[in-house]
């Protein structure tokens, strides 16, 4: 019964939303990060193909999934994902070649027997990893998140990790060079979170500037866009998009969502609010209409801003297809979340209608867009 309820609305929605698809009205590529098992979920396919032109595999191309141990390659899910995308005429955004965090890097990358690897060994392993993964899908993956989350949230420029400890900034430069060598046609992205915020923005611009000055093929900056309701950083985003425009750089909004249960305090004060926060689950029986309306307004304002920078923005991708599949249902604690444009039945939410309206609106006369 439950399954029947879940399947029927999807079909109804796709019919009722005909002519109002995100991909149909977007001036940029419209994407979504989807669960690796999408090929086994035909109930998700209509929503996916109706609204999106690009798909990012949520997990199966990450280093820990593809090469958990040195030389033990694991391409089963990634191969299926790419074949599925091709069968649906969707472009793939590969994610990611290097995730510059220790807890996201298989530990063997940093080790050489019982001692730490040298810079040369680490870079040689990275070269093999990138060459093998990018080479395998040459011509079949349109864009790659080459390096993910390398910038520090605190005082340093780069996040402390085995990557920076062993190879400084050079690993980023080489990662882009080697990805480009393996597939010269792929668009290469430096991807991070909060890189639109004051402080981290300057680090991001500095890093990309230095990489470009050294000839690195960085084609776009990824602004992940994991926002929280009532805290969307519009001004900071605008400054960032303006700065990228000035430098002639492209942006992709790579993992967009608006969490309706703010989570920022989870990390505050040394994590001492966590026990209390882990009990917060206010919308388990559904999201109140006034919250959905506020979320819709905030999505609308965001897309209004994006439209003003449509010469800068190459793609906007949501992170997950509908509320029931969002990573924010389990991170950083378990709760029933509602961060996307479609609800758990795949039905459009007020946020969907608001985004479509902004995307379909004629560009305002004062818009700064120059092509």
CB of 148 to ligand G3I, least distance (A): 6
Residue of minimal Cβ distance to ligand G3I: 327
Among candidate residues 50, 177, 255, 358, the one labeled active-site is 255
- Closest CB to ligand G3I among 195 and 358? 195
Q: How far is the CB of 97 from ligand G3I (least distance, A)?
A: 12
Q: How many Å apart are CA 174 and CA 207, to the nearest integer?
A: 13
Between 196 and 255, CB nearer to ligand G3I: 255
The rounded distance, in Å, linking the Cα atoms of 334 and 219 is: 36
Kindly tell me the number of DSSP H helices and DSSP E strands found in the chain. 13, 11
Residue 105 or 298 with smaller CB distance to ligand G3I = 105
Which helix H or strand E contains 82, and what residues bound it? Answer: helix 76-87
Any catalytic annotation for residue 149? yes
Known active-site residue 116:
no
Closest C-alpha among 303, 346, 347 to residue 28: 303
| Residue 198 buriedness (CB in 10 A; 0-12 / 13-18 / 19+) | exposed
Residue 305 contacts by C-beta under 8 Å, 6 or more apart in sequence? 234, 237, 238, 241
Q: One of 50, 58, 143, 149 is an active-site residue; which one? A: 149
The secondary structure of residue 134, as a DSSP letter, is H
Answer positive or negative: Cα dihedral of 355, 358, 361, 363.
Answer: negative
Kindly tell me which of 234 and 331 has the beta carbon lying closer to ligand G3I: 331
Q: Min. distance of Cβ 91 from ligand G3I in angstroms?
A: 18
Task: Write down the least CB distance from residue 44 to ligand G3I, Å.
Answer: 15
Return residues touching ligand G3I (CB under 6 A): 58-59, 62, 148, 224, 255, 327, 331
Q: Active-site residues: which are they?
A: 149, 255
């Amino acid at each position: 019964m439950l399954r029947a309820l879940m399947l029927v609305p999807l079909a109804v929605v796709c019919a009722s939303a005909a002519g109002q698809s995100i991909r149909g009205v977007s001036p940029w590529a419209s994407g979504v990060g989807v669960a690796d098992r999408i090929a086994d979920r035909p109930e998700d396919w209509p929503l996916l193909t109706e609204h999106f032109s690009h798909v990012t595999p949520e997990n199966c191309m990450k280093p820990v999934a593809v090469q958990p141990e040195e030389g033990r390659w694991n391409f089963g899910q990634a191969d299926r994902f790419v074949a599925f995308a091709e069968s649906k005429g969707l472009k793939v955004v590969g994610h990611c070649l290097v995730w510059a965090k220790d807890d996201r890097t298989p530990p063997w990358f940093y080790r050489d027997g019982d001692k730490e690897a040298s810079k040369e060994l680490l870079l040689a392993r990275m070269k093999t990893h990138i060459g093998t993964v990018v080479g395998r899908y040459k011509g079949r993956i349109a864009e790659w998140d080459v390096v993910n989350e390398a910038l520090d949230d605190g005082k340093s420029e780069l996040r402390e990790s085995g990557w920076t400890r062993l190879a400084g900034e050079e690993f980023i430069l080489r990662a882009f060079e080697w990805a480009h060598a393996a597939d010269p046609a792929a668009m290469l992205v430096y991807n991070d979170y909060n890189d639109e915020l004051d402080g981290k923005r300057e680090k991001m611009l500095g890093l990309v500037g230095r990489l470009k000055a050294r000839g690195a093929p960085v084609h776009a900056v990824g602004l992940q866009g994991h926002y929280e309701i009532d805290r969307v950083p519009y001004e900071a985003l605008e400054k960032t998009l303006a700065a990228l425009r000035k430098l002639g750089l492209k942006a992709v909004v790579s993992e967009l969502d608006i969490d309706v249960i703010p989570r920022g305090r989870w990390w505050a004060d040394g994590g001492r609010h966590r026990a209390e926060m882990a009990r917060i689950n206010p919308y388990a029986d559904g999201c109140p209409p006034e919250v959905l309306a506020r979320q819709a307004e905030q999505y609308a304002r965001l897309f209004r801003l994006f439209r003003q920078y449509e010469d800068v923005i190459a793609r906007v991708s949501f992170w997950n297809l509908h509320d029931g599949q969002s990573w924010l249902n389990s991170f950083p604690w378990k709760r029933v979340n509602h961060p996307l444009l479609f609800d758990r039945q795949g039905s459009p939410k007020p946020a969907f209608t608001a985004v479509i309206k902004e995307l379909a609106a004629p560009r305002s006369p004062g818009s700064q867009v120059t092509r």
